[in-house]
Structure 1
Amino acid sequence: MDNDEPLEPEIKDEPETEPAARNSDETFYCEAEASVAVEKEKPGGESSETDLEIEDTEKLFTTGQRELYLEACKLVGVVPVSYFIRNMEESYVNLNHHGLGPSGTKAIAIALVSNTSVVTLELADNCIMEEGTLSLVQMLQENYYLQDLNISNNDLGLKGASTISEFLQRNTSSLLNLQLSGNNFKDESAELFCQAFSANYRIKTLDLSHNEFSDKGGEHLGQMLALNIGLQSLDLSWNQFHTRGAVALCNGLRANVTLQKLDLSMNGFGNEGATALGEVLRLNNSLVYIDVSSNDISNEGVIKISKGLEFNESLKVLKLFLNPVSMDGATLLLLSIKRNPKSKMEEIDISNVLVSEQFVKILDGVCAIHPQLDVTYKAVQGFSAKKELLLWTNPMKLIQSYADQHQITVIDFFKSLNPNGRMMMSVGDFRKAMIQQDKVPMNPYQVRELIKKLAEKTGMVNFSFLKTEKR
């Protein structure tokens, strides 16, 4: 519950009327409508899953939104959340950790039925339970503006999964991104999600991390991946997939043509799962990001992944952090990129691997062919402090020095790297341009530091904030 002082509803009490009996499994009874709005009549032949239609919607889109929420809180018996009142006309509303419970969630859902402002709603860790989940999905059938919903860490379990699955199979909402992390979903829930996402093509981003899916759940989700034609990003990290589940997931990926980003970190793929993943990489042309960090993959598994990379033409990011991979395995990864002239690889994360100067020389040779490539490793054996200092000379100071010498701004320098002269470019294109330009020579380490300073979460480098730099 919000710690703000309770707010008394600013609506005069009206005579209470006894509502007609309703089926709570099929309808979402908005008691607030008794004093705020009159129920619409649907045209003949048109049915509705809820009774949340508002007659005077134009009024509720403006001044009526606050009053509707306050009256809903009063009638379901909860204290209004002042943060929600202040922000219900904003596009982003963060109600994480507010202790709403099912009743507080229902009041929020009532207010959002006719809301046209909120696009992203955060409701993580609110103990919303099955009743709150039902309120939300019924609201989503009426609200065509909400696109991002986070209901992670609400311990929804099998009943919550069932409610969500039934809703998703209708394909009736505008929801695009759904976060369901940490909800105690087990294999039975995976079967329900398989049914939902084998039919749903609207959801683009799905987070099912930090749940309890095991190998049987992997089989269900693998079947879902083979049939789904909408998902672009899927997070299955921190589950319990091992060999059988890993192979099943990879079998589904072989048939999938839309998924671009997949996080499978903190599972137990092992080398057999890595073998199946290598086959996916050989055939798949849609994946651009794969994270298999901490999956007990050794050099044996890396050999199989490397063979797939020799043929892959789409993958840009491969994360193998916290796997028992040695420098020999890391070298195999580099050589697989070198053998593939069509590789688009931009980032390989093996940041727990200690490498040698010979590895660095091989990397330099690969980067000559693929200048967009960056490999993150732990350190280089035998490098002296003097060498380390040379590698990490502040790149911005070097650029500023060049700009001062040539009487230009720093932003002029960066704009010269972009063929269209714009202030933004992809990380891969920026890295390639920085490595290839000869005005301010830099090594890969300095370019990496530059990207950390300039890159955004969207995978784009943005140097527009440098506009104020002096000539």
Structure 2
Amino acid sequence: MTAVRSTMATPDFDNDLGDSDDYETDLELEEPEVVQQEYDPVSEMTRLYRSVCRRTGVVPASTFLRHLTASELNMDHYGLGPLGTKCIATALKMSTFIETLSLEDNWMTGEGGVYMADMLKENPSITDISNRYLEELNLSGNEFSEVGGGFMGAGIGANETITALNLSWNHLRLKGVFALCRGLRSNNTLQWLDVSWNGFDDEGASGLATVLKYNEVLTYLDLTNNRISTRGAMKMAKALCINKTLHTLKLGKNPIGMDGSLQLLKAVRSNEESGMHVLDLTDVLLSQEFLDLYTVVQQERPHFSVVYGGVGQDLGWMVNDKKHLKRDPMQVFQDYIYKNHTRVITVFQSFNRGDRDRVTREAFKKGIKTAKIPLAPHEIEHMLDVLDSDGDGMISYGDVMAGQKELFKKKREEEWKKYTEVLEERRRRRQVKEKLEGAMDVLDKEPRSAEAWIRALQRMKHKQMTPSRSSTRSGSRLGLGRSDSRARSPSPAGTTDETKQVTRTKTPQLMSVVGNVWKKAHPN
């Protein structure tokens, strides 16, 4: 077979196209642009929090989710428990918004303390948004005990942002306290620490004293009710001889004794560079020597004050000045206002010309002395403690008005109590009168019972009662008068038997009624 050769020419595409521009097009193949999504810390925190909640079987807290971007977060008394604390602590590691966190009374226990300590160690590294850190943390009432306290100490040592920490009511003792002291040695930011109502004991006080010798940041330390004795107070006193920055030290409700309190005051006086303003010794036994030295220290340092008061004080000058023992300082302040025909706001503003709304404790104290309001030093301190309820050292006009309202409320309660007592006394007297009238009716009908009753009254053991006068008065008052000869003549035998018979029947009831009447009329 002869092959058939195609006569169709094969097109030369390359030649046809050539370099002609007639075939140019606007369609160009471009690589798709990848859109970079901006990092959202809130979404990431929400995702992480929900994820941890699912794994642990915890119901997410809507309050926490709603306040992720807030500067303050308060979740007191939510009953988080250790697992709920774990979920929140995990999410808070990424937080760059929350500065103040309060988780009081959430049953965290030691396990929850571990999670919170781990959170404190984290250092946020996000720099593309405002870099803000957790500054205030309230973890009081969570029963951290030794385990939680140990990890919390490590967390405090690693944290570089927190300035205020509340660990009160957490059963901190022994190893937990020592770990906390080690953490405080490494921390350079904490200024406000509340570890009241724990079990620091003298050993813990010694550890804190070592911290205070070298710490140059801490200004507020609350060690109220920590079983610290005189030995622990002596250790703290040695630290106060060196420390320059501590502003407020609270050691109230500790058995430090008169020697311990005196050494603390001597330490403050001996340190010329001391920054101490307030030494709280509430319910601590003080001596007259302490009070004498305190007067001298106040003259040398007008800004320094000691808070004291309560039971068991050895204050001889207070005992001798009996008129100052039971009066209310707020009532004295109010009486001064009434007597001088002025107003609270006028007196308050005269205490501090610079700030019309707030004054310091010292300015308030000086104003009371300048105005010559008749208050003793301990009464002024008591009044300031009541007004300065938040312990910030400042007294506001609102605090004074609140104290005045409390005074009026107390007065109304006292007046109501007196009124109810008057009503009760009237009711009692009315009942006594009714019983006495009933007894008189019975005696009028049965004269021999009356004679038996009179003789019985004469035998009653009331030494201040004169028998002859009482019997005469009783008989005449009840309308049972007899001639003197008959009343003084001996009773015949028959009368005696009959009297005994009456006594066995109705006289016991009669004696009970009239005897009670007599006792109420003659209580002594």
TM-score over 0.5 (shorter chain)? yes
Largest Rg, 1 or 2: 2
CA contact (8 A) 1:282 1:309 kept: no
Structure 1 residues 321-352: Cα deviation after superposition (integer angstroms, max 9, x where no partner)? 33422233x5xxxxxxxxxxxxxxxxxxxxxx
Q: Which amino acid aligns with 1:209?
A: S
Q: Which secondary structure state, in structure 1, belongs to the residue aligned with residue 113 of structure 2? A: helix
Give the match for residue 155 of structure 2. 167
Deviation at 1:188, TM superposition (A): 3.2
Does structure 2 conserve the Cα–Cα contact (< 8 Å) formed by 1:152 and 1:183? yes
Greater relative CO, 1 or 2 (CA 8 Å, sep 6+): 1
Deviation per CA, 1:90-122: give whole Å up to 9, x if none: 333222222212221111122323333322212
Fraction of identical pairs, as percent: 27
Q: 1:263 aligns with which of 223, 233, 250?
A: 250
Distance 2:239 2:162 in 1: 24
- 1:214-293 to 2 correspondences below 5 Å: 214-284=201-271, 285-293=274-282
Letter in 2 for 1:432: K
CA distance in 2, matches of 1:193, 1:465: 35
Are the counterparts in 1 of residues 110 and 146 from structure 2 also a CA contact under 8 Å?
no
- Alignment partner of 2:366: what SS? helix
Structure 1 residues 167 and 326, CA, compared in 2 at 3 Å: closer, same or farther?
Answer: same
Task: Tell me how far apart the structure 2 counterparts of residues 178 and 230 of structure 1 sit (CA, whole Å).
Answer: 13
TM-score, structure 1 as length reference: 0.63
Paired position in structure 1 for 2:55: 75
The counterpart of 1:158, out of the listed 142, 146, 153, is 146
The one-letter amino acid paired with 2:52 is A
Unmatched 5+ stretches in structure 2: 1-35, 125-131, 401-524
1:355 corresponds to 2:321: yes
Other-structure match for 1:142: 123
Q: Secondary structure at the match of 1:262?
A: strand
The alpha-carbon deviation at position 456 of structure 1 amounts to 7.5
Asked if 1 retains the 8 angstrom alpha-carbon contact of 2:191 and 2:219, the reply is yes
The aligned residue for residue 59 of structure 1 is: 40
8 A contact 2:97–2:133 mirrored in 1 = yes
Task: Describe the shift of the 1:309–1:433 C-alpha distance in structure 2 as closer, same or farther (beyond 3 A).
Answer: closer
What TM-score comes out, normalization by structure 2 length? 0.57
Aligned twin of 2:311: 322
Q: Displacement, 1:450?
A: 9.9
Given that residues 282 and 307 in structure 1 are in contact (C-alpha distance below 8 angstroms), is that contact kept between their aligned partners in structure 2? no
Alignment match, 2:5: none
AA of the residue aligned to 1:166: A
Partner SS, residue 184 of structure 1:
coil
Residue 34 of structure 1 is matched in structure 2 by none
| Amino acid in the other structure paired with 1:286 | G
Task: Give the root-mean-square deviation of aligned CA atoms.
Answer: 3.9
**Equivalent residue for 2:360?**
426
Residues 173, 248 of structure 1: CA spacing in aligned structure 2 closer, same or farther, 3 A cutoff?
A: same
Distance, in Å, in 2 between the alignment partners of 1:389 and 1:237 is 29
1:249-303 C-alpha deviation (Å, 9 max, x unpaired): 1111211111111110111111221231132132233111111122333445545
Distance 2:298 2:349 in 1: 33
Matches within 5 A, 1:51-200: 58-61=39-42, 65-140=45-120, 141-143=122-124, 144-170=132-158, 172-200=159-187
Q: CA separation in 2, counterparts of 1:272 and 1:116?
A: 49
Q: Residue 224 of structure 2 contacts residue 253 of structure 2 at CA under 8 Å; is this kept in 1?
A: yes
Structure 1: where are the runs of 5+ without partners? 1-54, 331-352, 358-376, 404-409, 467-471
Count of aligned positions? 352
Aligned-pair CA distance for 1:417: 6.0
CA distance in 2, matches of 1:306, 1:288: 15
Q: Which moved more, 1:258-267 or 1:442-451?
A: 442-451
- The structure where strand makes up a greater share of residues is 1
Contact 1:93 1:120 in 2 (8 A): yes
Using the alignment, how far apart are the partners of 2:236 and 2:275 within structure 1?
16
1:379 equivalent in alignment to 2:366:
no
